[in-house]
Amino acid sequence: MCRMTEKQGWSADRIPDLRERVYVVTGAGGGLGRATARALARRGGHVVLAVRDEEKGRRTAAEITAGQPDARLEVRRLDLADLDSVRAFADRLCADHARLDVLVNNAGVMAPPRTLSAQGHELQFACNHLGHFALTGLLLGRLTAGHEPRVVTVTSVNHRNRNAYLRFDDLDGARGYAPMGFYNQSKFANAVFGWELHRRLTAAGSPVRSVLAHPGYTATGLQTNGTVGLWRLVFGWIGNPLLAQRPEQGALPQLYAATEPGVAGGEFIGPGGPGELRGAPVRVRLAGAAADPETGRRLWELSERLTGVRYAVPAAD
């Protein structure tokens, strides 16, 4: 289990000048997304805050501009659990921007009661994976036109858990639903998608780089907003104040993945501390199962069928 340890002292102060670059950050209304958007705007990036709650997004934008009056921000509504909303968001964004430089697939939900999306998919799989899969595919043309373009997909250290696998015969949890088990499934899907996207983009000779990141254990609303039962108590009310790092620290791996010039496609960035729960960003290990080509092909084909979004990149050999 080898980990590369260069740049362990990396911080947001090392983000280069981002003027003339356009970033899209999902879930930018709070937590990791807000911290990511703030750091990008501070270095001159034009940031699109993709948020489900527009009022919350406007408050976030106001907070950022209060400390950075020249920040270039857009607040746009995006409900990743609703594929119609994803398409509407992508259509409007593409109409207004000839190019995009970086997409940060950050938003997510964690361990809610079993809920189905507008299209009938289990909520965590719909929001955390399918929505981002569709969004990335719909924006890929604009990203291809960008400057050193990247897609950063945020997964979790949980993608390595024993119950983190794709339940292809019960994706919606109808036969048996466990809140954290299905959260781990969605985070495993993020990891599989990020790696498979890297394989396909590389095979196609695309300039777009697919990079993975995870935030370790970070105190956000993810653990308390919608999480049920024991999980809310353990992760939210007990774990957050005692063990978790602040969103500004937890966002560093995805900021590194989105901005560091030397990052290559297929790299996975996470915290360098014990258990990858906290610490400065380093290159970390992707679970072997997440890089399995057959799993990647199967998830990709399923995701295209469920979302109706087909990518203009072929399958890698």
Annotation marks residue 183 as catalytic: yes
- In the three-class reduction of DSSP (H, G, I as helix; E, B as strand; rest coil), residue 116 is classed as strand
DSSP string, 17-80: --TT-EEEEETTTSHHHHHHHHHHHHTT-EEEEEESSHHHHHHHHHHHHHH-TT-EEEEEE--T
Q: Which of 183, 217, 256, 311 is catalytic?
A: 183
**What is the helix (H) or strand (E) element at residue 105, kind and residue range?**
strand 102-105
- Computed from CA positions of residues 294, 206, 305, 288, in that sequence, does the dihedral angle turn out positive or negative? positive
Q: What is the C-alpha to C-alpha distance for residues 61 and 47, in angstroms, rounded to an integer? A: 10
Q: What is the C-alpha to C-alpha distance for residues 267 and 284, in angstroms, rounded to an integer? A: 8
Q: What is the C-alpha to C-alpha distance for residues 251 and 39, in angstroms, rounded to an integer? A: 9
Give catalytic residue positions.
Answer: 183
